[in-house]
Structure 1
Amino acid sequence: MLLRPTRGRTAGTFPAALSTTRLCLLAAACTTTVGAPEVALALDLPPVPVSYRIEAELHPDTRGLEGKEEIRWRNETGESIAALPMHLYLNGFAHQETTWMRESAPRRPGESELLARNPDPWGYMEPVTITQRVGNEEREVSWRPIQPDDGNPFDRSLGEITLAQPAAPGEVVVLNVTFTGRLPEPMARTGGGRGYFLVGQWYPKIGVIEPAGVRHAPAARRAARQFHGPTEFYADFADYDVTFATPPGWMVGATGRLAPPAAGMAPRTDGLVTARYTQRAVIDFALVASQHLVDRWERHSPAGGGPTVDIRYMVPAGTEHQIPRWHQSIAGALDVLGSRVGPYPYDVLTVVMPPFWAGATGGMEYPTFITGGSGDRLVDNPLLSQVRLGEVVNIHEFGHQYFHGLLASNEQEEAFLDEGFNSYWEGEITRALYGDAASLGYVLGRRVEGAELGALRLGSAAETIHEPMRKRPTWLFEDGTWSLQAYPRSAVTFATAAALFGQERVDRVFAEYFRRFVFKHPDTEDFLKVAAEVGGAEFEAFCREAFGKDHLPDYAVTDADVTRFKVPLGRIITAEGPLVVTRENRAQHAGVGLPEEAREEDGQVLVEILDPGWVSGSEERTGTIQRVKMKPEQLAPFPDHRGHRADDGHFTSEVTITGPGWATLPVEVLLRFADGAVVHDTWDGRARWRRYRVLRGAPLVDARVDPAHKIQVDAAPQNNALAVDADEGFARDWGFWLGAVAEWIAGGASLWL
């Protein structure tokens, strides 16, 4: 049936839950063409090692939280466990010297700006009591803050619970926790005020202890980290049952679906209104509570199969007319990822467009619950209405449902497996929905393409990257580079892979990676194994090198020069015998000494290629100079170039190109001449430079490396071409415009963390 939107300022009412634990794809998905990705035919929500039953309440006037929770944690490590890590993420916002605040200072509002908005912007989270159920007895247990990552004594974002009784392998630990806390002023992922609260990372949460084999762990190990500024989260899959109370007149949306009150729960007598949400097999739980949002429901059946998804849009009052834009982006993301990667296994999704003043809570992903760009009537302004920034944020955050929410790689150690992979698919989705030419829309009438801007952003700071993308942990990348490493670098890597090896091969790799590791916390080597088995050895070698190089590749045409051929001075051997050429008689012997190949009577162009050779570890190649005949492509001539005429003699054209010295990044080289002849060559790029020299009856017009722009991982594509007579004014104007747009859009998306 068609779902009607719910309105008003009470807890929203969800449609009845769909009975879809086992998800089957549409039968049409089984009849794939040769080379198409093989997506999973069925996907079960797995049994999970953790469950949370939480009862909490929000006090808007103080931003306060009060709650209690029952945590059930099953020991799957195969070893006896005497202590458990516990995340207290809100303590990252407690004061100026927390680890999160120290690391985030360069990217966040300054102290004066923060305190100007609110003289008391801080948040915190503290357990009040913790007990462990042992038999029929509740035993108090102790906890203490720990700082295993940096030793910061001011940081209380991670704690350690010492169990009253150690947990044997397979045993379930039952903890009962009461807690108190406060949400911060909106600053990142969470917080609120003024009738709106994004409640994220808000409850005491058990940290991950990985069993042997997970992410190639040789033995059971702790993977729980402090709360770091440059990275996000890592968690076990868990079942959630959350009852949340607010004052009357507040609308609540959350991870999962609205459910009836829990059996045996007594009615509240304090005037607060409760909403209960439940969800199986997710890595986190977040919610929004507001007096000023309205909601509307849509239903979408993803093209790739899986359950029909009920989508709830929660937007500021007065912006409901924008929902069709947001729905197009979300439905498109469901279709593209569902058909090319794998089915979305949940039957519900909540999309929150926060008010403009709380934009710091936007652009964030939680399971079945995302916050997009700011919902504001400003979006309707003619200068902004053609820019798809809001759509792109929605698409990006939904993509995290896959690479963070379902694969659940370790965001703190290998953020590029989530942020970077997701940034690549963000580009694929926007192009599928809006076309290649203007996937981000138009700015002042000029098209804006996402991949172009991502590459420009990366290239503008390429010289700052001195570490491999796969280096661990992500929060210890060199200052100013972590976001480049986590976001655009792997996005352009896979765009390059698609150009080199074909889009179908890239899709097959991702589909198998998802099928094999959904709900299993893969790492980089897990992906590379799939890349080798499904994509082939050359595909895996490219990915491994791209992930492991400490610098970005840069192909460039560094020199292009033309000189008119003149008979060399000195003693020349001719068919009539030796001839001494002097300055005085040179003009009388214009054709003397010209090689026969330069006349091109066979229609081929003779190209002299200097390859200097290279050494890489135990491999090496001796340098060579070769003269190779090439059949040119014939295009329209440039008759006025340098005054060229058909009988204007011969010209020596010399071109030098430089490359990255990578082993897996071959590139096309193109030389274009005034008579319309175009010579193509392929260079493996393993040496640091290469030189071409051509003597023929037409001068060079320009030289280009990677003319089809396949190497999107190239750090500086703007230097890939060089004309003998360059139009520097045009290049400068276009480069400045693109740079300005890239900075504007990157600034608007800076909260994608």
Structure 2
Amino acid sequence: MVHIRTFVAAALLAATANAWADAPPAPASCASIPLAGADAAAVRTPSAPDAWGGPRTGSEASLSDRVVRYEIDATLDPDKHTVTGKQRLTWRNRSAQPVCSVYLHLYLNAFEGPGSTFMTELRENSDRFRSDVASHDGEWGYIKLDKVAQGGAPVKSTFVQPDGGPSTDRTVVRLDLPQPVAPGASTTLDIDFLGQLPRVVARTGYYGSFHLVGQWFPKIGVLELPGERGATTPRWNAHEFHAHSEFYADFGEYDVRITVPEGYTVGATGEETGEPVKRDGKVTHRFVQDDVHDFAWTADNRYAKPLVGYYEGPGSPKVTVRVLYTPEYENNAAPALQATIDSLEYFSRTLGPYPYRTVTVVIPPHNAAEAGGMEYPTFFTASSFARVDEGTMTRDLLDFVTIHEFGHGYFYGILASNEFEEPMLDEGLNEFWDQRMLVSHKRDIHLTSPLLKKLGIDLRLPVFDYERMAAMNRTPADPLGQNAWNRMSGGSYGTVYSRTATTMHDLEAEVGTPALERAFKLYYARWKFRHPSIADFEQAMAEGTGRPDVVRRVFAQQVYGVQPVNDRIEAFSSREVLPQPGQVVHDGKRVELTSAAIDKAVSDKRAAWKKAHPDAKPGEGPFPYRTRVLVRRSGADVPQVLKVTFADGSTRSVRFSGTRPWQRFTWTLHSKAVSAELDPQGAINLDADKLDDSRTLEPDASVARRLSGQATSLLQTLYSLLVSL
């Protein structure tokens, strides 16, 4: 017997699919504006100087060149977990040609069933996603367009799959407009929609009374013009919602009214304007924010009284920081507030002032961890832990996730790169800057649980050592500049974070901290409120550091290419140079040096030298030592320092570089070598194996210490995995 609910659902889905499939094709004139393709990835050509209206100097009337305006009335039904919305979307055509069709993202349809690109990729690639929460009967999500009109005229719609995903994916829809939008003109679309939230999964949804409402409204794609992110002709950029991709949108204005039942606390992007309006047991809150490219919100009747703090810094308005949490995680609120205020200070000082007046932090409640660790403009979700004792792993994780999600407000929010095609510009650069903040605060990662701490055990790991362990250094699979979805595995997508952070760490070590900080400030100043590409970032780094040769080499090897780094000390010896038996010519006469004569001469000379140098160290004597070090290279050409230490305490350092797979260095000195070490400053974290970077002529306990460090780092990776389950 077919379950009646299943039968009805299947019939409705089929009817809906047929209705959309019957929509007529777009007018022929619209074919001149193509969609960015499925292979779109790292851009190699810098954008034109006037791209996106040119750099924002601060003298303009608005922070961004506002392209779109959203006016939305949204009503939450917390029992059905639905959002009923009425939206007026006003979009401006920046191009020099008429636009007959536009594209909307309907992200919630990623969760409507197994036929979406998102669900298909998770299933076919066997990837673990975040906390690996599965959707069950009655827990799916979707978005339905009930009405789309332009000037009162209905708009025809067709689902498309720009990246070649399954025909059942419905996360991108084309709207064929009754009235084309002239160059420089604007049009307004009136859209009625219904969003069914899923049981919290992949950044959005509900659990009980908790609602995290992200990627919930029909959102227009980006029309890129020639000279912007590698475009040579106008093109639409609107990718399907992939399992490992995030988002990309135009800057604009948001005016959103959110209606919820009385007793629910609401937090959202932007500032709440005016007093909430109560009527018939419901309350309407109005949030307004300009110069952002997304909007998210939360509502729950279990939220405690928000914890509020403030930040005031040079160049920024007074920023109100509001932390929302449920009672079981009250102990998470104060650390999250402090980490946010600390982040405001660090990012404002090292990149540029924070331009908005609010930050809202959400601590997800119990059983809603899937909603944690996600960023939206002026609004983000942190993590939540039962215990957050100072100096423990869970406290470090809470702090780091808070810093990381706030940091996205700069790299994802203000710089607004394309997370679909170039995720390293957001996830990777943000990860790097977050870890730099922790280093500046002299913070390590604690591997200590409350129980271990009670026993007096305090295990720690430097933050960039952790990044190195997760960077897939031995066999990297994809260039850092690869797009989010066309990767070998979910683990390879993870290298967007750790391998980018490790690469930037090594670049900083080579060019120097002042040069790198100067370059990042230039990148931010030039590209804030625009949409930079990887080529634009490379150009800013080359100019800002003053080391274009180094920057271009690193980008060629790791961003556009995927070359492992693997240097090692292959052989190391230091032998005393003694006279050898045989025939020699002395004063024009041939003389034979016998073994017996040489042995006596060596013995006599040693005795005399020892008498004259009673405090000499082992390895010092009357005869020189010939030291030889053979260095092998089986990866990318990365200049390294080789340091050799001798028994008398002296050292010799040389540079090892070039594409030749080996190089031998020799010294003849009156002291025996003790050790040889590549990268003595620990500057090159991309090296696949740091254990083979050094050798000693005598047993050395430091090897055991390095092995212990590796094991500790692996333990941290395991702990992180366990915490996320």
TM range (shorter): 0.7 to 0.9
**1:109–1:524 Cα change, 3 Å:** closer
Which residue of structure 2 aligns with residue 667 of structure 1? Answer: 640
SS of 2:474's equivalent in the other structure is helix
Once the 2 structures are TM-superposed, how far is the Cα of residue 675 of structure 1 from its aligned partner?
Answer: 2.9
1:332 touches 1:429 (CA, 8 Å); kept in 2?
no
Q: 1:50 aligns with which of 63, 68, 71?
A: 68
1:89 touches 1:227 (CA, 8 Å); kept in 2?
yes
Alpha-carbon distance between aligned partners in 1 of 2:616 and 2:317, rounded to the nearest angstrom: 59
Which residue of structure 2 aligns with residue 682 of structure 1? Answer: 655
SS of 1:404's equivalent in the other structure is helix
Q: What is the Cα-based RMSD across aligned positions, in Å?
A: 3.2
Alpha-carbon distance between aligned partners in 2 of 1:649 and 1:528, rounded to the nearest angstrom: 53
What amino acid does structure 2 have at the position aligned with 1:131? A
1:295 touches 1:313 (CA, 8 Å); kept in 2?
no
Alpha-carbon distance between aligned partners in 2 of 1:414 and 1:233, rounded to the nearest angstrom: 10
Which residue of structure 2 aligns with residue 522 of structure 1? Answer: 532
Bigger shift: 343-352 or 711-720? 711-720
Q: 1:462 aligns with which of 464, 473, 482?
A: 473
Which residue of structure 2 aligns with residue 734 of structure 1? Answer: 709
Alpha-carbon distance between aligned partners in 2 of 1:288 and 1:366, rounded to the nearest angstrom: 12
What amino acid does structure 1 have at the position aligned with 2:474? E
Which residue of structure 2 aligns with residue 476 of structure 1? Answer: 486
What amino acid does structure 2 have at the position aligned with 1:717? K
Which residue of structure 2 aligns with residue 745 of structure 1? Answer: 720
Richer in helix (by share): 2
Residues 187-266 of structure 1: pairs in structure 2 closer than 5 A: 187-260=201-274
**1:107–1:479 Cα change, 3 Å:** closer
**1:69–1:351 Cα change, 3 Å:** same
Structure 2 residue 365 is the aligned partner of structure 1 residue 355: yes
SS of 1:453's equivalent in the other structure is helix
Alpha-carbon distance between aligned partners in 2 of 1:749 and 1:569, rounded to the nearest angstrom: 70
| Cα deviation digits, residues 354-397 of structure 1 (max 9, x gap) | 124111111111000011111x4322498546x41111111111
SS of 1:464's equivalent in the other structure is coil
Under a length normalisation based on structure 1, what TM-score does the superposition of the two structures give? 0.79
Residues 549-564 of structure 1: pairs in structure 2 closer than 5 A: 549-563=561-575
Which residue of structure 1 aligns with residue 424 of structure 2? Answer: 416
Under a length normalisation based on structure 2, what TM-score does the superposition of the two structures give? 0.82
Structure 2 residue 115 is the aligned partner of structure 1 residue 97: yes
**Residue segments in structure 1 that go unaligned for 5+ positions in a row:** 1-38, 600-636
Residues 197-596 of structure 1: pairs in structure 2 closer than 5 A: 197-260=211-274, 269=280, 271-374=281-384, 376-380=385-389, 384=393, 387-432=395-440, 434-435=441-442, 438=444, 444-458=457-471, 461-471=472-482, 473-536=483-546, 537-538=548-549, 540-545=551-556, 546-563=558-575, 565=577, 567-568=579-580, 570-573=582-585, 578=590, 587-588=599-600, 590=602
What amino acid does structure 1 have at the position aligned with 2:344? L
| Cα deviation digits, residues 212-246 of structure 1 (max 9, x gap) | 22213111101110001112101011211111222
Which residue of structure 2 aligns with residue 653 of structure 1? Answer: 627
Alpha-carbon distance between aligned partners in 1 of 2:581 and 2:168, rounded to the nearest angstrom: 80
**1:330–1:382 Cα change, 3 Å:** closer
**Residue segments in structure 2 that go unaligned for 5+ positions in a row:** 1-55, 450-456, 610-614
**1:384–1:713 Cα change, 3 Å:** closer
The total of aligned residue pairs comes to 649
Once the 2 structures are TM-superposed, how far is the Cα of residue 84 of structure 1 from its aligned partner?
Answer: 0.8
Alpha-carbon distance between aligned partners in 2 of 1:206 and 1:571, rounded to the nearest angstrom: 90
SS of 1:357's equivalent in the other structure is coil
**1:302–1:541 Cα change, 3 Å:** farther
Once the 2 structures are TM-superposed, how far is the Cα of residue 112 of structure 1 from its aligned partner?
Answer: 10
Alpha-carbon distance between aligned partners in 2 of 1:577 and 1:549, rounded to the nearest angstrom: 64
**1:176–1:150 Cα change, 3 Å:** same
Alpha-carbon distance between aligned partners in 2 of 1:484 and 1:298, rounded to the nearest angstrom: 34
Alpha-carbon distance between aligned partners in 1 of 2:312 and 2:590, rounded to the nearest angstrom: 81
Which residue of structure 1 aligns with residue 91 of structure 2? Answer: 73
**1:224–1:569 Cα change, 3 Å:** farther
Alpha-carbon distance between aligned partners in 2 of 1:259 and 1:671, rounded to the nearest angstrom: 66
Alpha-carbon distance between aligned partners in 1 of 2:506 and 2:684, rounded to the nearest angstrom: 5
What amino acid does structure 2 have at the position aligned with 1:69? Q
2:461 touches 2:712 (CA, 8 Å); kept in 1?
no
Once the 2 structures are TM-superposed, how far is the Cα of residue 498 of structure 1 from its aligned partner?
Answer: 2.4
Once the 2 structures are TM-superposed, how far is the Cα of residue 297 of structure 1 from its aligned partner?
Answer: 4.5
Alpha-carbon distance between aligned partners in 2 of 1:564 and 1:260, rounded to the nearest angstrom: 86
Once the 2 structures are TM-superposed, how far is the Cα of residue 331 of structure 1 from its aligned partner?
Answer: 1.3
Once the 2 structures are TM-superposed, how far is the Cα of residue 300 of structure 1 from its aligned partner?
Answer: 3.1
Once the 2 structures are TM-superposed, how far is the Cα of residue 499 of structure 1 from its aligned partner?
Answer: 2.2
Alpha-carbon distance between aligned partners in 1 of 2:254 and 2:313, rounded to the nearest angstrom: 29
**1:305–1:96 Cα change, 3 Å:** same
SS of 1:351's equivalent in the other structure is strand
Once the 2 structures are TM-superposed, how far is the Cα of residue 62 of structure 1 from its aligned partner?
Answer: 2.7
1:420 touches 1:488 (CA, 8 Å); kept in 2?
yes
Which residue of structure 1 aligns with residue 679 of structure 2? Answer: 706
1:565 touches 1:649 (CA, 8 Å); kept in 2?
yes
Alpha-carbon distance between aligned partners in 1 of 2:129 and 2:490, rounded to the nearest angstrom: 16
Once the 2 structures are TM-superposed, how far is the Cα of residue 111 of structure 1 from its aligned partner?
Answer: 12
